[in-house]
Amino acid sequence: MKRVFVAGHNGMVGSAIVRQLSNEPEIELVLRSRSELNLLCQADVRQFFLEENIDAVYLAAAKVGGIAANNNFPADFIYENLMIECNIIHSAHSVDINDLLFLGSSCIYPKLAEQPMKESALLTAKLEPTNEPYAVAKIAGIKLCESFNRQYGRNYRSVMPTNLYGQYDNFHPENSHVIPALMRRFHEAKQADDESVVVWGSGKPMREFLHVDDMAAGSIFVMNVDKHIYDRCTEPMQSHLNVGTGEDCTIAELAHTMAEVVGFKGQVSFDSSKPDGAPRKLMNVDALKQLGWRYSIELKEGLAMTYDWFLENQDNYRA
């Protein structure tokens, strides 16, 4: 039996990984809530790893949010993410855990990176200012994995997901990512019979979206790929792979699709006084395709699945 620790199992990505790993009879999941294990405390994390005899780690724990949250709480985003990564990765190494998967973010790439963004674009130019603290923390996590691999021969891998959405997302009206924020806004507008919905920004930026169930499947796939094959598909001296669809749409197109899925019949307009963020963020997923993995859930289908979950969980979704 392989004991697998999923850090952040109550979050959107972590819970999706847990759902899929739960179907594997040879895996015993080890899970701890925030009240049971404070990932910001080095001593607590170290003691946990000493006691639990873990074989592999999925590091899905993170402090996440949209443009507004990143703008308003930059110190929280860089500090908490750095501490979580450092505590878990170093503690895993210290008890001789050889297999770990770190989940990053597409925001690690430069604001004006050539599209679609290749893994080799990392650290080649300036980051998007609105989420730079979060991005710097995620880059540090990648480099931690790479450094332990180089110095100690560990098998610490990193996956960089594109924009994710799905069940157990954060539906806060201000501090959430674009899909859950829009879903809640259109839903409430529909309930109130509003004539219009105003979307932040110009609607022109292009974004790529991946359903969280696909992200979980891709993460497990990457964790289980033979090391020699994995190393052939990654950049020299790097440990990370992009995970996405390789396809994108404008925010305006997303908003109109969301209105259709939710059933909102009013007008959709855009507030250009609000920040757009990066003009385009599309992942190059050639390396992952070369390994043999591809997404399976199309955007409209995934939005419908997410809205069904939203309707069934309005009393307990994160907001």
Active site residues: 134
| CA 213/CA 166 separation, integer angstroms | 8
Q: How many residues does the chain have?
A: 319
SS3 state of residue 27 = strand
- Cis status of the peptide bond prior to 25, with omega within 30 of 0: no
Residues 94 and 80: beta-carbon distance below 8 Å? no
C-beta pairs of 259-262 under 8 Å, 24+ apart in sequence = 259/186, 259/197, 260/300, 261/300, 261/303, 261/304, 261/307, 262/183, 262/186, 262/187, 262/190, 262/307
40 residue type, one letter: L
Beta-bridge partners for 241? 159
SS3 state of residue 297 = coil
Residues 100 and 59: beta-carbon distance below 8 Å? yes
